[in-house]
Structure 1
Amino acid sequence: MPIMRAAFASRFDDADPLAALTVGDQPEPSLPDDDWVSLRVTASSLNHHDLWSLRGVGLRADQLPMILGCDAVGIDPDGNEVVVYPVVPTPGDPRGMSILSEHFPGTLAERVAVPRWNLLPLPAGLAATDAACLPTAWLTAWRMLTTKGRVAEAEAVLVQGAGGGVATAAVALAAAMGKRVYATSRDAAKRERIAGLGATAVEPGARLPERVDVVIETVGAATFDHSLKSAAAGARIVVSGATAGHEPKVNLRRVFAMQLEILGTSMGTPADLADLLAFCAERDVRPVVDSVVPFSRVEEAFARLHSGDVFGKVVVDHTA
């Protein structure tokens, strides 16, 4: 069986997830059926999902070793440069689907196997290391703004906890759409960088100059009351994460009096990803990249993400 280099979870360690990371040889991915193809990976990016996997969230011990990584750009069997949509059909999963690295080997390897219909052409002018940032975090932000948030009807947007992958993507995308964007962060240095993306950066809980039409909420209990108070009548509060608590107190009188919509979402569809790729190519929007690390030093990429100091995406260049 052909062997390849990969970054994988070899065990679980909730206290020190980096200790559960192994970089070494693994079998090249098998193809479950004729509709799947094997790609040579040229670029990938990390998500907090990878750290959660190392902690044992969403994986069982009998699934180890599991190659990590959701996002990738690669070369298909016909020599085309393609972007990988990371959600794959998964019989036996209660959702009927999963993202790469949950049931099927992920993208932090020399090769990855995916269904052929999960491949989208890499637009001209968009670098592989940029496009590799888009399929998970940026796709989630895109769907939050467009499909769920109906941002086309909005003038002002609040993004809570900017600095992480999804929130930073939402700031950049909303600004590129011409919206007035407010963004919160506890970190003064990150607020300065957020302002450079076109947002008005404020401390968490700060009173805004106006109420907004769309709130992007990935923080949870720590910011949810501020999200409610900052929402204009009829606003959409779109939730895709709860990094600081998943059980906020909700003032229901405000919800019904202001006719607010609280909407949940995750990821997006292949059509959403195609729209996002086209938007970035046509509007010259590029992902916010914290750092690009060669695959030979992929452990450093994980350490950077785990540090909590990242601003934007950590990218792995598989050609370096």
Structure 2
Amino acid sequence: MLAVFAKSFDAYDPLAGLVVDEVDEPSGPSDGWTRVEVRAASLNHHDLWSLRGVGLRAEALPMILGCDAAGVDEDGNEVVVHAVVSDPAWRGDETLDPRRSILSEVHPGTFAETVWVPRRNLVPKPAELSFAEAACLPTAWLTAYRMLFTRARLQPGATVLVQGAGGGVATALIVLARAAGARVWATSRSEDKRERARALGADAVFEPGARLPERVDVVAETVGAATWEHSLKALKPGGTLVISGATSGQDPAAGLNRIFFLQLSVIGSTMGTRDELERLVRLCVERDVRPVIESERPLEQARDAFAALAAGDVFGKLVLTR
């Protein structure tokens, strides 16, 4: 079958180890797993980190990449794949399982014609969502959903600042916060992305570090070092900063004095549970919310999609289709 996989690591040139080629179809690792024919799969920064050797062991190479997918299971059902694989004995929130992994770390990923996943990881895909739209949900959109509603407990009417509008998580944050009745502000270095964020539903847009009209209730942070100080200064006393990534670096100035003096809450968030994914899918249908897709490309053109993601010239999600 055709697949996109990592054959080697390169911290400075991640695409050097990327291969698009025919491979033997893997088999299910044990009882409780099922085969899914992949119709669409979306890219995440996790895939680039894997090619840099972060979160993926050398002895696991070659490894089929990809966390997210939508497709058809062995019984002919249209499904969305939840990417977090927990220990079979684990009960409760899968993201808290110390033995958890994500597809493409231990088990082959979704950038292939087929993927094997635990049956419990399948969520029914509603007819209202296309395969491409559904494939955008399990990582970036689920991360945004958990950040806003589970971790930050965003309330209707609150003001949320989204740092670094443009990527998959950031665009999801804007759309979901808007759908929940929040006032949404967003920042971006790019004037074009600021205007696209406004068109997406942001009530106001700003350059990074800009002085805001007033302080906000929640800051959704995925950028890290480049925006950390601004994120802290943007919060009202008692406000919440929820962070799920640090694409600009992982060593921000802590700002401890501001955190304790203003009684700020800094909350970490990662991925999401199967139940949260099911609720996210339902929200998309009932509120007529759809993921922002930059482009769809056939699986054969995966290298072009990876190059666009690495260059940062993306607004929304990149999707590979079959």
State the TM bucket, normalised to the shorter chain.
Answer: over 0.9
Shift of 1:154: 5.5
Deviates more, 1:247-256 or 1:111-120: 247-256
Question: Partner residue of 2:19?
Answer: 22
Calculate the TM-score normalised by the size of structure 2: 0.94
Q: CA deviation at 1:155?
A: 1.1
Q: Which residue of 1 aligns with 2:6?
A: 9
Tell me what 2:93 maps to.
none
Amino acid corresponding to residue 197 of structure 2 in structure 1? I
| Aligned position for 1:181 | 184
- Structure 2 CA distance, aligned partners of 1:192 and 1:57? 33
Alignment match of 2:99 (pick from 70, 81, 96): 96
User: Superposition pairs for residues 8-87 of structure 1, below 5 Å?
Assistant: 8-87=5-84
Alpha-carbon distance in structure 2 between the residues aligned to 1:153 and 1:277: 20
Q: In the alignment, residue 229 of structure 1 is paired with which amino acid?
A: K
> Which amino acid counterpart does residue 130 of structure 1 have in structure 2?
E
Whether 2:273 is the aligned partner of 1:276: answer no
- Give the corresponding residue for 1:192: 195
Q: Which residues in structure 2 correspond to 1:85-164 (within 5 Å)?
A: 85-89=82-86, 95-152=98-155, 155-164=158-167
Q: Secondary structure at the match of 1:191?
A: helix
**How far did residue 141 of structure 1 move?**
0.5
AA matched with 2:46: H
Q: Which moved more, 1:110-119 or 1:160-169?
A: 160-169
Q: Which residue of 2 aligns with 1:225?
A: 229
Report % sequence identity. 60
Q: 1:210 matched to which residue of 2?
A: 214
Q: Distance in 1 between matches of 2:191 and 2:156?
A: 31
The one-character-per-residue Cα deviations of 1:157-215 (angstroms, maximum 9, x if unpaired) are 00111111111110111112221111110111111111111111100011111211111
The equivalent of 1:171 in structure 2 is: 174
Contact 1:213 / 1:232 at 8 angstroms: preserved in 2? Answer: yes
Paired residue secondary structure (2:23): strand
Query: Does the CA contact (< 8 Å) of 1:124 and 1:281 recur in 2?
Result: no
Runs of 4 or more, structure 1, over 4 Å off, are none
Residues in 2 aligned to 1:252 and 1:119: alpha-carbon distance in whole angstroms:
42
Q: Which residue of 2 aligns with 1:315?
A: 319
Mapped partners of 1:201, 1:66: distance in 2: 40
After superposition, what is the alpha-carbon deviation per residue over 1:3-55, rounded to whole angstroms, capped at 9, x for unaligned?
x1100001112222112111112221211211000111000000111111111
TM-score, with structure 1 as normaliser: 0.95
The whole-number CA distance in structure 2 between the counterparts of 1:306 and 1:243 is: 12
Q: Distance in 2 between matches of 1:12 and 1:30?
A: 25
How far apart, CA to CA, are the structure 2 residues paired with 1:60 and 1:261?
34
Structure 2 residues without counterparts, runs of 5 or longer? 89-96
Deviation at 1:132, TM superposition (A): 0.3
In structure 1, distance between residues paired with 2:113 and 2:163:
36
Deviation larger for 128-137 or 294-303: 294-303
Structure 2 residue aligned with 1:249: 253
* Structure 1 residue runs without a partner (length 5+): none
Equivalent in 251, 267, 290 of residue 271 of structure 2: 267
